[in-house]
Structure formats: C-alpha cells, structure tokens
A and B are shown apart, each in its own frame.
Chain A
Amino acid sequence: MSERLEKGLNMLRQEMDKKVMSFFSSCVRCGVCAEACLFYTETRDPRYTPIYKTEPMRKLWNSEYSFWGRLASKLGISKPMTEADLADWEELVYDGCSMCGRCSMVCPLGVDISMVIFKVKHALAVAGFSPEGLVGAVQRAVDIGSPMGITMKAVLATIKHAEENTGLKIPMDVEGADYLALLSSNEIALYPEYLEALARIFDHAGVSWTLSSEAYEATNAGLQIGNKATAGQLVQRVVDGAEKLKAKNVISPECGHAYTALRWEGPNFIGKAYPFRVVHILELLDELQANGSLKTTGLESDRLTFHDPCSIVRRGGIQAQPRNLLQPIAQNFVEMKDHGSMNWCCGGGGGVSSNERAEELKHTVFNRKKSQIEELEVDAVVTACSNCRMVMEEGIEINEMDIPLLGLTELIAEHLAEKSN
C-alpha cells in the first residue's frame, strides 16, 4: 500500500464518526440527491450524483465497518481499496461539487451528503489528490497570507484609496475596538467598494471598529481544499489577531466560505472555542437596522433579485437578514424561483472557482443560474458573496447577458440616511 493511500485511508478512518456511520447504514441509494445537484441536472452525468461522490468513504465503511465487508476481509476475499479509489474521485469531488449542500436538504434519509463529501476532501487533500489551482492557493495563503497572493502592501493601498474616496479614516490596529472587520481577497483585489461601504456604514451607525494588519484575510483555502491542518493554521491567524486587539466581535465579510470557516468550522479546526463572537456582516447590518442605528433612505426603482450564496443561506442560516435589509430600499424586489435555502449555487463554490481545470464545467453549470435570472427579467442581481459575484459576473459575460451584479453591503451604503445628530 502506497503511503499516500495509507494517509488518505487513515484520514477517512479518522473522519468516520457516528454521523457517517448512521448515514451509510441508512442510505438506500434512491438517487433523489442527483436531482438536487447542480452538476448533475446541468450535465445529466450520473457520476455527479452527490452520494456517488462519497464513494471512497462508503467503500471504506463497507470494507471496515459493515458486517459483510468485515466478514469478507476476515476470510481474505475482500478487494482492498486502491489508490484509484481515491484518485478517480478527485475530479468528481473538486471539479464536480461546489459544496453547495443542496443534496443534504433533499435526502429522504437525512444524510448530510455535503458533509461526507467534505470528509472525502480531507482524505484526498492529505493523500495529495487535489487540483493544482487549489494547491497553489493554499500555498499562497500560508506563505503570503492570502490565496490570491495579496500582500499587506496591497491592502494598505486599498485602504488608502478607500479613505480618499470616502473622506473617512479607516481604523487600523485599534486595540479595544468593538468590531474587528476582516476582508476576503476578492474584496481587496476586485471589489474594494466593500471596504468603502463598511467605512460609510460604520461611520453612520457609530460602530467602533478596526482592521488588523495581522489578520486581514478572512478566506480559508484550507477549507476549500479540505486540509484541516492548514485551515486551522489560517483560522489561528485570525484568532491571534483578534486576541491581540482584544476585539469582542469579529466581522466575517460577505464571502460565503470565509463565513463557514470563521463562524462554524473554525473553532473545530483549532480545537477550542473563540474568546470573541463571529458575526456575518449581513447579520450585523440587520442588527443595526433593527436597533435603529442604521437608517436607510431612497428606493431602488430597478427590478432586483437576490442570489442566495449557499454558504451564507443554506449552510449558514442567514436567510431572513438579506431580505430584511433589501426590503426598505428595493421597490421592485422579486424572488428567484427556488429562492432561499433551496436556491441553486452559482457553480463556483467549494473551491471550484480557484480550480482552472473545472472552468468548462463551471460554465456549463452556470446555465441554471442563467435561466433563473433570465426568467425574472431583472435589471440587476444582488448577492452577498464576492465569490458568487465573481463567478456570476464571469458567467454573465460569457453568456452576453449584460446584467450588473451588486454587493448587498455596498447597496446599503449607497442608501444611508443623513446622520440625524
């Protein structure tokens, strides 16, 4: 048995908990999950069936945890798992799954398929069966501090630019601030408006906040590739930064997987609970709006819709907040078909967008979002995840659709009421 196979199998064994055991002993292979999967419905390739993507885990369960498998191996007639059992799933798991979790919603037996796929990713990652694009991103995240290779210098330039645009001072490394805001690489490189929006909104609402020069990057390439050690290392940077500034709250940026990494998986990656609260920017804005410190004015007359980012809505539970925030400023708001926790993924989640190999497939599966948007005949699409936004902008460009994408936080910032005091 090769070393990498051994590593992969050991990781699978390590991940074999009571949940996985109950999942595999209840799965009846009904195939319902396929109909929920973006990659299956758009390609009709049965290999993209979600539960099929968990085959390495199921095979291990079958050979080492099920009665017949154990009997067979006792009798020496079982077929041991081979490297191919892992290698052949690399493409399915990394290219053909955006970890959107829609399958987990529909399974009649309640199998959290998406979670098991994530566990398979752990094994593939330690065994070294990961796409180059992601490996590179992880390397950059560890070495430089950001998966896109963005250095502190670039961040400072963005901050300076934002300060110039807004005329507001952006606090940096302020000890004892209530909120520590994080950014995602995309927001630094592609959508600097986000930072400006933050500055305006917090100024308006009178929130005490800061950025940190040590912990500015919220994204977590370790989560995307499935490498728990790296993921923990990246989360630890944020924790250290927040602890150093004695921040009571850490604001997760819009970015979906960053939110998952910080809010839900982070404490488990580093093995201890946080001394601070993690709050998603939309949650925070909703709170501010509810307690009256955030007041908006003016109405968007454009016909708008909201794309639910999977990691924030379906897997993150922030479903009502974006609607609460949009309601007072959007006159012509329409919901997408299948909106909310059953919305379709943009096709670029779970690291697919950082994986050049998956480009063609990503464009194929965008057809679903395309028809969802076209059906509504909207003027613009609002979303709350820079990755979704980037993937959809790319798809819209390829399909020559000419529909702008708006970040929800930026949209709020444009509608701030005059300060009352």
Chain B
Amino acid sequence: MARMKFYCDAERCVECNACVTACKNEHDIPWGVNRRRVVTIKDGEQGERSLSVACMHCSDAPCAMVCPVDCFYTTSDGIVLHDKDICIGCGYCFYACPFGAPQFPESAAFSSRGKMDKCTFCAGGPEDDNSSQETTKYGRNRLAEGKLPLCAEMCSTKALLAGDADVLSSIYRKRVINRGASAFNWGVNFNNSKIQG
C-alpha cells in the first residue's frame, strides 16, 4: 500500500518555477489559480532557500476537517482529493490549510470564489479516470496512467520528488548522508558558519 507524498529539497531547489509552469500546463489551469508555487525565504540574503509548495496530502488534513460540506476524501494511495460537485467555494479550507494549497478561480466581492481547486497529485477527482468530465474539472489523471506528478518529473535539479513516502525517505536519507560528507555543503548552517560560502 503506497502512501503518496511530495518532498522538496531546499538544498536543491533553484526557484526555476518549472514545476509551477509544468503543473499549469499539464492541467490547463486558468490564470489566478496556482496549484503549486515556489516560496523563497530570505530572497537575496544569506541563507536564501526556496521550496516548491503544493497540497501536501496530509494524513489528518485540516481542510477535510473544516469543510462544511465534507467534500474531501483520501484515496487508497493516501492522496487527499475533493469533489467539486460538492464544494460550495466557502474558503474555509484555504484558512485551515497550513500550506495555502487550496486555490479559488476568483475572489470577488460577496465571497464569490468559485469551486476550490488544488493539487490532485495528478490523480484527478471522483469521476472515472481520465473521463472528459474529470479532465475538465481536475486536469489530467497521470497516476491512472502509471505516471508520477509532472512537477516532480520535470524538476531539473531533482529537488522536488513525488512518490511513495518510504521510497522518498530513503532517497532523502541518502542525500543527507552524502551532504554530510562535505563541510562546505552543510548548507543550512551557512548563516552561523565562519566560512562564508
């Protein structure tokens, strides 16, 4: 039983926004909606780091907890999806989400937001896999085709990884160990380090 997760390696992310573009392109997402975004901390300063963020498919998702119409569900792969036929566009999930993943096509006066849209882990929605309805509402269902999310597949530095949590864990572990071998690369400590990289 797989448990699908994203992992973004802050040491590798170069803020190229290719993941954002790939995602928008793959799912034909309208302007204003960004299922994925890259956040840069300390931009232009020492210790600058970037992270690519989207829905993290939490095990105990706050969005699902707070949804007044209970439109979220978790797939057998551990992916948190939602049913746009049920969503009423109230915006609660956006308040509750730690990562700011839920997006709305509009945010007009009198709370006209439209149906919530968020990262599906390229797994579509409740409709039949890659049916035209599913594609219109949620974008492509790559998982059903045996493919991983495009954002991770596209990532040129392999900073963004997507897949089974156990596999990602082992990759990450290996990276940490390798990085530890070089004192200069112990990046996160640049701030306190006497040696200016």
The answer to whether any beta carbons of A and B sit under 8 Å apart in the complex is no
Q: Which residues of A contact B (CB under 8 A)?
A: none
Chain B residues within CB distance 8 Å of chain A: none
